[in-house]
Amino acid sequence: MIGVILAGGTGRRMGGNKPWVRVDGVPLIGWAAETLRASGCEEVWAVFRRRDHRWEGPWLEDAFEGGPAAGLRTVLREFEGWRLIVTACDVLFDPVEWVGSGDPPKHASDTLFPLEVVSPGDVGGDTVRGVLKRLGSHGVDVRSVDADRVSDLRSYRGFLRGLLREGKLSTE
For residue 31, give Cα distances in angstroms to 17, 120, 132, 152, 163.
15, 27, 24, 15, 11
The verdict on residue 49 lying in a domain is: yes
Tens digit of pLDDT for each residue in 37-51? 999 999 999 998 888
Confidence (pLDDT) at 88? 96
Residue 62 has pLDDT above 80, yes or no: yes
- Give me the domain span that covers residue 156: 2-164
3-state secondary structure of 120: coil
The verdict on residue 93 lying in a domain is: yes
Query: 142: domain CATH number?
Result: 3.90.550.10
Contacts of 142 (CB under 8 A, 6+ apart): 93, 94, 97, 98, 101, 108, 109, 114
Average pLDDT, the chain: 93
Residue 172 has pLDDT above 80, yes or no: no
- Residue 48 near residue 55 (C-beta atoms within 8 A): yes
Confidence (pLDDT) at 56? 92
Confidence (pLDDT) at 139? 97
Number of domains in the chain: 1
The verdict on residue 43 lying in a domain is: yes
Please give the share of the chain, as a percent, with pLDDT higher than 70. Answer: 97
Confidence (pLDDT) at 66? 73
3-state secondary structure of 19: helix
Tens digit of pLDDT for each residue in 109-135? 999 999 999 999 999 999 999 999 999
The verdict on residue 133 lying in a domain is: yes
Q: What is the mean pLDDT of residues 8-12?
A: 72
Taking the CA atoms of 28, 32, 37 and 41 in sequence, report the sign of the dihedral they define.
negative
Residue 63 has pLDDT above 80, yes or no: no
pTM, rounded to two decimals: 0.94
- Residue 6 near residue 79 (C-beta atoms within 8 A): no
The verdict on residue 169 lying in a domain is: no
The verdict on residue 6 lying in a domain is: yes
Q: What is the mean pLDDT of residues 133-139?
A: 97
Confidence (pLDDT) at 118? 98
